[in-house]
Amino acid sequence: MEFFNSLLRWLVTAFAMTAVFSAHAGPMGFKGSAMTMGDFSPNWQKGWVNYAPSSRDAVGVGALAMRSDDKRLTRKLSELTYTRLLKRVNGEHSQANLWFVGGVGPVSGNDFSGSKTLWAPGISADYETTRVYVSGTLRLYRASGMNHDFASARAGFSFYEVDYEETQPWFIVEVRRMRGLSEGIEITPMLRLINKRYFVDLGVNNIKQGRVNFMYIF
Amino acid sequence: MFKFSKILTSPLKILCAAVVLSTTSGLMTAATAAESAKATVNGMVCAFCAQGIEKRLSSLPATKAVFVDLRKKIVAVEAREGQSLDLAAIRHEITEAGYDVVKLETVAMSVDELRAQSAASRPARK
């Protein structure tokens, strides 16, 4: 069991946290588009909107509220974000991406007064076909005297292929962990629905908390 | 046995034949008048992501309709009547949306015909 836990922690850390950028393809839309994202559970609420002036860059704003598993510690972060598509490999039946996501903004908490400037650089990678999806993200959340580094990994499959206009259902499992707030590993099996207009994840994690993610491109 | 001479002897039949030929000819002209650009695109694996292609191509001035086929990795753009498609612009828009065009050709088919062709060759859902 100890080995299993160590392995799981290593995997989570290695792939690191994609939950925030749960995008099937990436944390930004196409050139000239605005994209909004949300990730909501009792311990984690995040909203984010960005605009892509180019096919590889996006700038945005986001807000994140976090709570420790024991509900004693809270954090609230507002951030300006920058997203960069570092590398994309388009295969005949697949796509792989490497992303940089950075953020900076004030963070406040219930265990200190005022606010601190938090820096949140991160990296994310994903690989997908019409039937398979895997991704991983690592993101540092650092401020003076604060370290809430975050890691997540996701993997799943679609039940069947669909036409462009149809909604495609997927089964996705996510594992994630945030240092200093959630020492346990959160595991969330989710039903994912992808349509050309929207993207939604619905799940319940291993501590029986509901979870909703969504994305929408304008 | 069919005898063409019998048609010639019947004014009513001649009239009917003329109407049928005229209608058929008209339909064929309409069918062949449509022109579409058909691109084979690498990396197109999900509808949410591929909507960028559809939106960008739809905004081109000569575009009448766009068809995206995720299974065959095909994107088709039909030209408005009397307008011609700019293949270089189509390639550019797909590339700017983040995908790779591996083949681009002009076909004498409408988007609806390409959609029907795609549907006809679709395998049963497993």
Per-block mean pLDDT, blocks of 10 residues, chain B (126 long)? 51 51 44 80 88 91 93 92 90 92 92 88 67
Q: What's the whole-number mean pLDDT along residues A6-30?
A: 49
Provide the 10 A C-beta neighbour count for residue A54: 12
- Contact yes or no for B62/B89 (Cβ under 8 A): no
Domain hosting residue A186, numbered range:
2-217
Q: What's the whole-number mean pLDDT along residues A127-147?
A: 94
* Separation CA B99–CA A124 (nearest Å): 19
What per-residue confidence (pLDDT) applies to A143?
94
CA B74 to chain CA centroid, Å, is 12
Which residues does chain B have within 8 Å of residue A129's beta carbon, measured at their own beta carbons? Answer: 45
The answer as to whether B83 is a domain residue is yes
DSSP letter string, B66-101 = EEEETTTTEEEEEEPTT----HHHHHHHHHHTT-EE
CA angle A157, A29, A142 (to 5 degrees): 85
Q: Are residues B41 and B5 in the same domain?
A: no
Instruction: Note whether A218 contacts B: Cβ–Cβ < 8 A.
Output: no
Position A18 confidence tier, pLDDT thresholds 50, 70, 90: very low
Domain hosting residue B108, numbered range:
34-120
What SS3 state is found at B121? coil
The answer as to whether B91 is a domain residue is yes
Q: What's the whole-number mean pLDDT along residues A112-133?
A: 94
What per-residue confidence (pLDDT) applies to A156?
96
The answer as to whether B16 is a domain residue is yes
What are the C-alpha distances in Å from A84 to residues A53, A120, B49, B56, B78? Answer: 11, 14, 16, 20, 33
Q: Are residues B61 and B103 in the same domain?
A: yes
CB distance A161–B47 less than 8 Å? no
Q: Is the pLDDT at A210 greater than 50, yes or no?
A: yes
CA A175 to chain CA centroid, Å, is 11
In angstroms, the separation between the Cα of residue B99 and the nearest Cα of chain A is 7
Percentage of chain A lying above the pLDDT 70 cut: 88
The answer as to whether B78 is a domain residue is yes
* Separation CA A37–CA A81 (nearest Å): 13
Q: Which of A72, A65, A73, A136 is nearest to A107 (CA)?
A: A65
Q: Are residues B80 and B24 in the same domain?
A: no
Q: Work out the mean pLDDT of chain A and round it to a whole number.
A: 86
CB distance B47–A94 less than 8 Å? no
Q: Are residues B44 and B83 in the same domain?
A: yes
Q: Are residues B95 and B42 in the same domain?
A: yes
Q: What is the edge-to-edge ordering of all strands in the sheet holding B36-42?
A: B63-69, B74-79, B36-42, B100-107
pLDDT (tens digit per residue) in A66-121: 988 888 899 999 999 999 999 999 999 999 999 999 999 999 999 999 999 999 99
In angstroms, the separation between the Cα of residue B13 and the nearest Cα of chain A is 47
Which CATH number goes with the domain that contains A44?
A: 2.40.160.40
Q: Are residues B73 and B96 in the same domain?
A: yes
- The amino acid that residue B82 corresponds to is G
Q: Is the pLDDT at A52 greater than 80, yes or no?
A: yes
pLDDT (tens digit per residue) in A160-193: 888 888 899 999 999 998 888 877 899 999 999 9
Instruction: Note whether A55 contacts B: Cβ–Cβ < 8 A.
Output: yes
What per-residue confidence (pLDDT) applies to A51?
94
Q: Are residues B25 and B53 in the same domain?
A: no
What per-residue confidence (pLDDT) applies to B23?
47
The answer as to whether B50 is a domain residue is yes
The answer as to whether B125 is a domain residue is no
Residue in chain A lying closest to B45 (CA): A130
Number of domains present in the structure of chain B = 2
Q: Are residues B38 and B95 in the same domain?
A: yes
Q: Is the pLDDT at A217 greater than 50, yes or no?
A: yes
What sign for the dihedral angle of Cα A108, A109, A114, A116?
Answer: negative
* Separation CA A5–CA A107 (nearest Å): 31
Q: Which are the contacts of B1, defined by CB distance < 8 A and separation ≥ 6?
A: none
The answer as to whether B26 is a domain residue is yes
Q: Are residues B49 and B89 in the same domain?
A: yes
Which residues does chain A have within 8 Å of residue B55's beta carbon, measured at their own beta carbons? Answer: 30, 33
Number of domains present in the structure of chain A = 1
The answer as to whether B24 is a domain residue is yes
Which CATH number goes with the domain that contains B112?
A: 3.30.70.100
Q: Is the pLDDT at A8 greater than 80, yes or no?
A: no
Q: Is the pLDDT at A55 greater than 50, yes or no?
A: yes
What per-residue confidence (pLDDT) applies to A12?
38
Q: Are residues B45 and B27 in the same domain?
A: no
What b-and-e string marks burial along A66-93, b requiring 16 or more CB atoms within 10 Å of the CB? bbbeeeebebbbbbebbbebeebebeee
What per-residue confidence (pLDDT) applies to B83?
86
Q: Are residues B99 and B109 in the same domain?
A: yes
What per-residue confidence (pLDDT) applies to A31?
86
What per-residue confidence (pLDDT) applies to A218?
85
Q: Is B87 exposed, middle or buried (0-12, 13-18, 19+ CB in 10 A)?
A: middle
